Structure 1
Amino acid sequence: MSVIKNPIIPGMAPDPSILRVGEDYYIATSTFHWKPAIQIFHSRDLANWKLLTYALDDEEVDLQGTNTPAGIWAPHLSYDKQTGKYWLAFCHIQNMAGREFNAESYIMSADQITGPWTKPAYLTSIGFDPSLFHDEDGKHYAAVLEWETREGYQAPGHIVIAEVDLPSGRVHEWHRVTTGFTTRGCVEAPQIYRHDGYYYLLLASGGTGYAHGVEIGRSKEIFGPYEPDPTGEPIITSSPHHLFSLGDPDAGHFEMYNPHSKLQKSGHGSLVETPDGRWYMAHLTSRPLPGQKLNPLGRETALQEMRWTQEGWLELADGSNLAKETVTVPGTVKQDRQAFDVEDHFAADHYDHRFMTPYHGQSSDWVTVQDGHLLISGRNSLFSQVAPSIMGTRATSLHYDLQTKVTFHPDHYSETAGVGLYYDANNWFYVRLVQADNERETVLRVLQAKQGQRVDDYLDEVPVPDESVEVRLRYDEGQVVVAYRFTSQDEWQQLGGRYDLAYLSDEGVNGEPGEIGGFTGLFNFIGAVDAYQHQSVGKFAYYSVHNRD
């Protein structure tokens, strides 16, 4: 046995759905407004995880205009042993205004986890966070949250289950089975398991903030009635003290912050059994900045060992319900934390598949590899929710260096190319080559978006003599120092002061008081803008992110 450290997948990897087929483990996670959509990670030892593939390609879902934090939510992986097919259920949140939460849920299948996946088949619009369960008798069931919009009714609604025909996705009658097994409320993300003659219903509860948790109930019949876990509390959480929050559809619950826990917001889990009969739960978690309740890295994936009690209930291996920073896994394994570094010199005419783009897909129309350089054609401004030319990778540490070399010739003040940090279209930090205000030279200058407001740091610009510069951003717990050099023999020079970018976090973006503005996570990126003629091209020699954990 080996002791490993959480999170097992750092950075934006929320709502994990874990699955084992043979010796292989897979985890699917949400991607929200980022494409390609639905990350699928792979491991053979539960400790080391690498991005294997994405389930949705660029043509299968339109995310242009998506508001934070809508988009692709809570994918659920399953495997039908009778047919040997992998199944994936997911929802596309299209609107959150007026708390309507308009969602379309889909299912699709594949013979291999890497695809090709079938075209998504429509399942329902009753709510969000769908899952599939393949019973031993060959029947299939879907579970989902039925979103409640009526005044005076318990929000966010009932968990409902229906038999579903596969592969068509035709849904039979929905059965309302529960509004939750504890008083935390805000239940969602239902998942069904069968163990020792019982159907177990696993739920996320307490909202997406500091009260988040995992709760469980069981029944002899799939449509219930389900009895709640006798503790009356979540079986996993970061904040074990009691909370009564029924009727609250979701909230940050900042009062539930646990100063004694390294992990916060632990909840939304899924179960897996190892070949030797051990049970584990993958769940989301967050790591705030020290002394703050801001989470730049968003919701990450953690792992906990579980056990079944003599009475047939599930609990953490140590008998508590507090999510732990370390976990014991089978075998002799060592975590490779450097696996989440990125070092790409754009060789062999391709770029790292960990690059993602907000709101729209990557295509040769705007991003290509040529002669060992990544060429990015400028288009909309970074405020755009339609077609920003951004190539981003998930930030996976609170201490790291982001570095690139960019060559760019602007013919107009609306043309730029550079490097930065990005949360969404309203919140980002961009160090870019841009035409000087006198329109006679190229300069390096910082531009920010903070909750939709544009901040141009024009007083700290520096001329770039040959329109080529190396830029390094050193990130430490929400603070960033920018440095530049014109040749590899030059000393690094600082640009501007120390930038406070802690607002690039789930709680720092455009949320209402008491709410979380987003739950996606910070990205590093290189990109270009051309609001002039859409003809300029930024030329990037390399892209590196080195974590300093």
Structure 2
Amino acid sequence: MPQVLNPILPGFNPDPSIIRVKNDYYIATSTFEWYPGVQIHHSTDLANWTLKIRPLNRKSQLDMRGNPDSCGIWAPCLSHDGEKFWLVYTDVKRKDGSFKDTHNYIVTAEKIEGPWSDPVYVNSSGFDPSLFHDDDGRKWFLNMIQDHRRRPRSFAGIRIQEFDTRAGTLVGPTKTIFYGTDLDLVEGPHLYKRNGWYYLLTAEGGTAYEHACTLARSREIWGPYELHPQKYILTSKDAPYAALQRAGHGDIIDTPDGKSYLVHLTGRPTTHKRRCVLGRETAIQEAYWGEDDWLYVKNGPVPSLSVEVPGTRDDSEYWAEQRYVFDNSKGLHHDFQWLRTPETSRIFKIENNQLQLIGREAIGSWFEQALLARRQTHFSYDAETVIDFSPTDERQFAGLTAYYCRYNFFYLTVTAHADGQRELLILSSEASWPEGRLNLPLAEPVKIPNEGKVKLGLSIRGKELQFWYAHGEGKDLQKIGPVYDASILSDECGGHQAHGSFTGAFVGLACSDVNGTAMTAKFDYLVYRPVRHETDRYEI
């Protein structure tokens, strides 16, 4: 069979849940504070994947205004019971300190494209829920249990309870069926049935460099569950030089001809500081069932960079320049997402073939900010836009941003001095955790005429970021500001470091008016141009 290079979903695509419906495969991944919620990709060969839908796309399903960074939609579970699709997910409202507020919901759809139902609330006892459809027709809800009394960890095991689809509620007894191993932090449960065994796949070790997939089994759904002879069927924790690190949080799928695969999250660190700028990505591993009725990862437990799958992949599209124009008749390209709010008319609109961002709160707000962006899916790239914006003072600013979260971003803005003179100013927040403040003093602003469009650009080459600008038609781009450390746009440098920062780097367009007058910035296009660079390792 042909081989593909991991990851199969590059860039911020963590916590994969995979299903097969006839000859179609679907993977659902976490989106955290980015709206709409949950990404579902489709494939027919496990090699080529396209974004199919983000199903949580209206206010009645999801409103994340006020959710802190790396909260929101955690670890969705996608399943199909032979009649319809089921999607289980958590909306996390708080994750720091002793308590976590984690609300679990279910939505359904007859077709993957939707329409998807309004959510049914299930519980708030933990996160990473899943739904298991047993062969007797009963459905079982699993999630990890959060116990705020435990120290130093509050992960208290995997709990199961029956879900009554008619009543739309949990019924009957509940039981903690698995407490995990000494690696701790057990989460991400998926339950399967094969040859009379119930198999429980979980994630352990946190989502950083100790991450792992643990497998256990029982003859009864209530347990007791015995551990796999290898304990961890997938992990990079003992292989610090492997290409794929942070491997864990997996799900199992079989092909029509009976081959088995494990999809899992992973990270590809760069620099000697091991920073995963592209966030947690989705990879795939070939697996097989042994004569002992246990699943093994081929050449595991360390994940392989290259894997045999049924299909072949043409990577030319991956390396192609993406030029996003804003066509009134076509709407916003599906690569774009925004932060938290379902009320899009308050932050953007497309008119006269331009994207108009309506200035709201400052960049990094947890409530309402006008920021539209796409994932960074390459270690090196160029980005470019043209902006029309006429600020009147320093509290109005708009432009081009490389963004991870409120704590870590670089932002080339068109703004104005207090006297109304328009200028270019770089706002940066380099690893300022926990304050989330600008790094001062800022680079010297560049005065520009008060009228006319401005071209803005940025280039990232490995860990180096450089901004560019030009004012006036036909002018060449010129450098502005120093070279910044782009590697801080990573989980390891997020507001809560690798065990608490879960997204990935984005590049996009933003507008703020902290005067509250909702001044609009107009953008003609956005270009994202991947670049092959000698500093990049293990690029697809």
Please say whether Structure 1 and Structure 2 have the same fold, judged by a TM-score greater than 0.5. Answer: yes
Separation (CA, whole Å) in 1 of partners of 2:152 and 2:417: 58
AA partner of residue 30 (structure 2): S
- How far 1:18 moved relative to its partner? 0.8
2:38 paired residue number:
38
Separation (CA, whole Å) in 2 of partners of 1:483 and 1:154: 46
Separation (CA, whole Å) in 2 of partners of 1:207 and 1:191: 17
Partner deviation per Cα, 1:228-275 (whole Å, 9 max, x = no partner): 10123x101112x3xxxxxxxxxxxxxxxx442111101000111111
Separation (CA, whole Å) in 2 of partners of 1:218 and 1:407: 60
Which of 521, 525, 529 lines up with 2:504 in the alignment? Answer: 521
1:328 paired residue number:
308
Separation (CA, whole Å) in 1 of partners of 2:449 and 2:263: 48
AA partner of residue 474 (structure 2): Q
1:108–1:121 contact (8 Å) kept in structure 2? yes
AA partner of residue 236 (structure 1): L
Among all aligned residue pairs of Structure 1 and Structure 2, give the percentage whose two residues are the same amino acid.
Answer: 35
Separation (CA, whole Å) in 2 of partners of 1:454 and 1:529: 15
Secondary structure of the 2:54 match is strand
Separation (CA, whole Å) in 1 of partners of 2:515 and 2:278: 34
Which of 422, 426, 448 lines up with 1:442 in the alignment? Answer: 422
Gaps of 5+ in 2: 533-540
Secondary structure of the 1:159 match is strand
Structure 1 residue 474 corresponds to structure 2 residue 459:
yes
Partner deviation per Cα, 1:92-143 (whole Å, 9 max, x = no partner): 1111233321211111111011111111111111111100011111111111
Structure 1 residue 377 corresponds to structure 2 residue 358:
yes
Structure 1 residue 147 corresponds to structure 2 residue 146:
yes
- How far 1:494 moved relative to its partner? 0.6
2:324 paired residue number:
344
Residues 375-454 of structure 1: pairs in structure 2 closer than 5 A: 375-439=356-420, 441-450=421-430, 451=432, 452-454=436-438
Secondary structure of the 2:164 match is coil
Partner deviation per Cα, 1:308-347 (whole Å, 9 max, x = no partner): 11111111123x2001111111144434552786421112
Structure 1 residue 26 corresponds to structure 2 residue 7:
no
Alpha carbons of 1:340 and 1:388: their partners in 2 closer, same or farther (altered >3 Å)? farther
2:125 paired residue number:
126
AA partner of residue 166 (structure 1): T
- How far 1:437 moved relative to its partner? 4.3
Q: How many residues align?
A: 524
- How far 1:154 moved relative to its partner? 7.0
- How far 1:502 moved relative to its partner? 2.1
2:68 paired residue number:
67
Separation (CA, whole Å) in 2 of partners of 1:152 and 1:384: 32
- How far 1:458 moved relative to its partner? 4.5
Separation (CA, whole Å) in 1 of partners of 2:57 and 2:32: 14
1:12 paired residue number:
12
1:255 paired residue number:
none
1:493 paired residue number:
478
2:328–2:351 contact (8 Å) kept in structure 1? no
Structure 1 residue 110 corresponds to structure 2 residue 123:
no
Separation (CA, whole Å) in 2 of partners of 1:99 and 1:186: 15
- How far 1:168 moved relative to its partner? 3.6
Secondary structure of the 2:230 match is coil
Gaps of 5+ in 1: 242-257
- How far 1:37 moved relative to its partner? 0.8
AA partner of residue 235 (structure 1): I
TM-score by length of 1: 0.91
Which of 218, 223, 236 lines up with 1:238 in the alignment? Answer: 236
Residues 190-209 of structure 1: pairs in structure 2 closer than 5 A: 190-209=189-208
AA partner of residue 309 (structure 2): V
Deviates more, 1:153-162 or 1:473-482: 153-162
Alpha carbons of 1:168 and 1:72: their partners in 2 closer, same or farther (altered >3 Å)? farther
1:212–1:266 contact (8 Å) kept in structure 2? yes
Structure 1 residue 548 corresponds to structure 2 residue 528:
no
2:125–2:146 contact (8 Å) kept in structure 1? yes
Alpha carbons of 1:449 and 1:400: their partners in 2 closer, same or farther (altered >3 Å)? same
- How far 1:152 moved relative to its partner? 6.2
1:366–1:378 contact (8 Å) kept in structure 2? yes
Secondary structure of the 2:438 match is strand
Separation (CA, whole Å) in 2 of partners of 1:457 and 1:15: 37
Partner deviation per Cα, 1:186-226 (whole Å, 9 max, x = no partner): 11011001112211100001111101010101111111111
1:58 paired residue number:
58
Which of 298, 301, 307 lines up with 2:288 in the alignment? Answer: 307
- How far 1:17 moved relative to its partner? 0.5
Separation (CA, whole Å) in 2 of partners of 1:167 and 1:348: 43
- How far 1:522 moved relative to its partner? 1.0
Alpha carbons of 1:137 and 1:475: their partners in 2 closer, same or farther (altered >3 Å)? same
Secondary structure of the 1:518 match is coil
- How far 1:296 moved relative to its partner? 1.6
Secondary structure of the 2:318 match is helix
Deviates more, 1:357-366 or 1:471-480: 357-366
2:262–2:297 contact (8 Å) kept in structure 1? no
Partner deviation per Cα, 1:350-379 (whole Å, 9 max, x = no partner): 121221111213522331111221111111
2:535 paired residue number:
none
Separation (CA, whole Å) in 1 of partners of 2:451 and 2:28: 45
